[in-house]
Structure 1
Amino acid sequence: MGNSTFNGRFTTENTEDMVVFIIGMRINKPLAVHKWGPVFMAMPGMIRELYMNKEEVGFLSMESYFGLRTTAMIQYWRSADDLLAYARNDKHLKAWMNFNKKTRNNNGVGIYHETYQVKGSEYESVFVNMPHYGLGKAMNHMSVSEKKDSARERLAAKEAN
């Protein structure tokens, strides 16, 4: 589907539990490229691995943002168990240990992550004239119906089923 725009109002089903994982880095010393460059370059390989093994590892989708000094990736996962299992798998663990080694005692760059476990019906989304994006890429993308016209109705959809 690529970047095709879906005209109209769309939402996602919110019946499934999921995990939102936010990970990123902050360049503390912009001129110290030798310190933050290797950290920045380590991430694309891990992202490629996720997309190549999506179904197997429980990875649903992600979006990336690059600011002047800070990056952020919002990832959607099927479950916390899947995310934690991926974090411990041999292939990723080697890449993560290498990544972590480059950030230890490296005041030129900072890294962070946040993990949120979200129950079905405790999230909602709306997309107007957008391509598949965010939750719209991660979950079942569908037209907004009369029963799901407002955020309140989309949040209550699971209870109504």
Structure 2
Amino acid sequence: MFGNPVVAGRTTAGAEGEVVVLLIGMRVNHFWAVHHWVPVQLAMVRMLRELRKDKSRGLLGAVLLTASPRTYYVVQYWESKEKLYGYAHAPDAFHRVAWAAINRKERKGKARQHVGLWHETYVVPEGAYEAIYSDMPAFGLAAAHGQVAVERRGKSAKERFAHRSGEGAGA
């Protein structure tokens, strides 16, 4: 079987408390400069593999997406912003090696003209996120935090937004 099994009916994400989301990606500015952008793609794959192997680093889940033929990004869900920052600055993590290489190329004036890099980090407080899935395998927030029956959080979006950890279904 490929991927997670489909869960029949309506479900929601089992997230409790705040949610940390990192969007990180790259844009190919010059397709012909393969030797500049392929290493960036491979570095992201390597970092995700490293994070999946070591759950203690805090990555809960990730989804790789394509926005256009030029733009690729990963939606990442983290245990906390502290764990995210911890990984970004860990001397033993591949991120540090990759970031140092990008900085060296930037100082030489070579990196940014061929490959654009970006990230956005969101710390979303409880009550400021909501999710619903219908006949879906665990995906996105639900893949990162678990998938639960929608009734555990409320039947409407308004009820799910109002859900607070430890209060039970609906508000």
TM-score, length-normalised on structure 2? 0.85
The 2-side partners of 1:59 and 1:108 are apart by: 29
Within-5 A mapping of 1:2-81? 2-54=3-55, 56-66=56-66, 67-81=68-82
When the two chains are superposed, the root-mean-square deviation of aligned CA atoms in Å is: 2.0
Q: 1:33 to 1:146 in 2, by over 3 A?
A: closer
CA positional deviation for 1:98: 2.8
Q: 1:101 to 1:14 in 2, by over 3 A?
A: same
Look up the equivalent residue of 1:96 and give its one-letter code.
W
CA positional deviation for 1:35: 1.9
Equivalent residue for 2:142?
136
CA positional deviation for 1:108: 0.9
The 2-side partners of 1:73 and 1:101 are apart by: 24
Q: 1:102 to 1:41 in 2, by over 3 A?
A: farther
Tell which deviates more after alignment, 26-35 or 108-117: 26-35
Q: 1:154 to 1:109 in 2, by over 3 A?
A: same
SS at match of 1:45: helix
Q: 1:19 to 1:159 in 2, by over 3 A?
A: closer
Equivalent residue for 1:158?
164
Specify every segment of 5 or more residues in structure 1 that has no aligned partner in the other structure, as ranges.
none
Q: Is the 8 A contact 1:124 1:151 kept in 2?
A: yes
Equivalent residue for 1:109?
115
Which of the pair has the greater relative contact order for Cα pairs under 8 Å at 6+ separation? 1
Q: Is the 8 A contact 2:26 2:71 kept in 1?
A: yes
CA positional deviation for 1:94: 2.2
Q: Give the total of aligned pairs.
A: 160
Q: Residues 115-139 of structure 1: CA distance to partner in whole angstroms, max 9, x if unpaired?
A: 1111122211001111111001111
TM-score, length-normalised on structure 1? 0.90
Identity across matched positions, percent: 39
The 2-side partners of 1:27 and 1:47 are apart by: 20
Q: Residues 106-160 of structure 1: CA distance to partner in whole angstroms, max 9, x if unpaired?
A: 2111000001111122211001111111001111311111761111110001189
Specify every segment of 5 or more residues in structure 2 that has no aligned partner in the other structure, as ranges.
none
SS at match of 2:85: helix
Look up the equivalent residue of 1:60 and give its one-letter code.
L
SS at match of 2:101: helix
SS at match of 2:35: helix
Equivalent residue for 1:83?
84
Q: Is the 8 A contact 1:103 1:109 kept in 2?
A: no
